[in-house]
Amino acid sequence: MQNPMASDAELKQRFFELLKSDEEFRLAVAGLLGLDTVINELRKLREDFLLFVKEQEKRWEENNKRWEEAFKRFESIERKLEEHDKRFARIELELGALSEATLTKFVYEEVERFARESGEKIIVRRRNVRINGAEIDMLIETDRTVYIIEVKTKPRQRQVDELLNKIELVQKAFTKPVKPILAGVYIGDEVEAYAKSKHVDVIRY
């Protein structure tokens, strides 16, 4: 006579099959074992984690937008600063040119007065002339002397050196002696002393 009771092995096999195929059975077993609470907690943790990830993604998107806006504002400010610098440089250049043009007029009058007082007669007056490769701001030729004049609003020592280098080049074009003059408004004491030590006359306004 066959035993109607299934063997332990058969019961285990059936139990595992139900666990695999029957979700309701799995949940019932989990409830009996107290695992339903753990599963629910895990589900809640998963939901919380996904929500956290979404919130972080949203924050990153907002931060990226803020950074993009800030970068655009920075680029706009940078462009405005560049435009301002260009306008300022242009104004500074125009003012410098105007100042030197006005200064040149005063220098000519000063040299003309000096020449007449010395009994010299002015023959030629020229501005921005090139002689043997030397660029001269102003050249005044009298019947006895050739004056080469460097006109700068705020001359430096290098302008004195440049003027000295031009004497030999200009002298080749004239038989008269060449006399260098440095003219400016803001001439430092050191620059003036250096010029005079090199036998360069200084006209300061």
Q: Write the pLDDT tens digit of every residue in 88-105.
A: 656 454 445 546 667 778
Range of the domain at 161: 120-204
How far is Cα 12 from Cα 33, in angstroms, rounded to an integer? 17
Q: pLDDT at residue 78 above 70?
A: yes
Question: Looking at residue 135, what is its pLDDT?
Answer: 93
Band of the pLDDT at 39, cuts 50, 70, 90?
Answer: low
| Tokens encoding 187 | 């001439």
Q: Is residue 191 part of a domain?
A: yes
How far is Cα 52 from Cα 9, in angstroms, rounded to an integer? 46
pTM listed for this prediction: 0.53
61 versus 177: the higher-pLDDT residue is 177
Helix 35-117 × helix 23-33 angle, to 10°: 90
Q: What is the mean pLDDT of the chain?
A: 80
Counting every residue written for the chain, the total comes to: 205
Q: Is residue 41 part of a domain?
A: no
Domain count, the chain: 1
CATH number at residue 174: 3.40.1350.10
**Please, is 162 exposed, middle or buried when counting C-beta atoms within 10 Å of its C-beta (0-12, 13-18, 19+)?**
middle
Q: Is residue 164 part of a domain?
A: yes
Q: Judge contact between 36 and 30, C-beta under 8 A.
A: yes
pLDDT (average), residues 103-113: 84
Q: pLDDT at residue 134 above 90?
A: yes
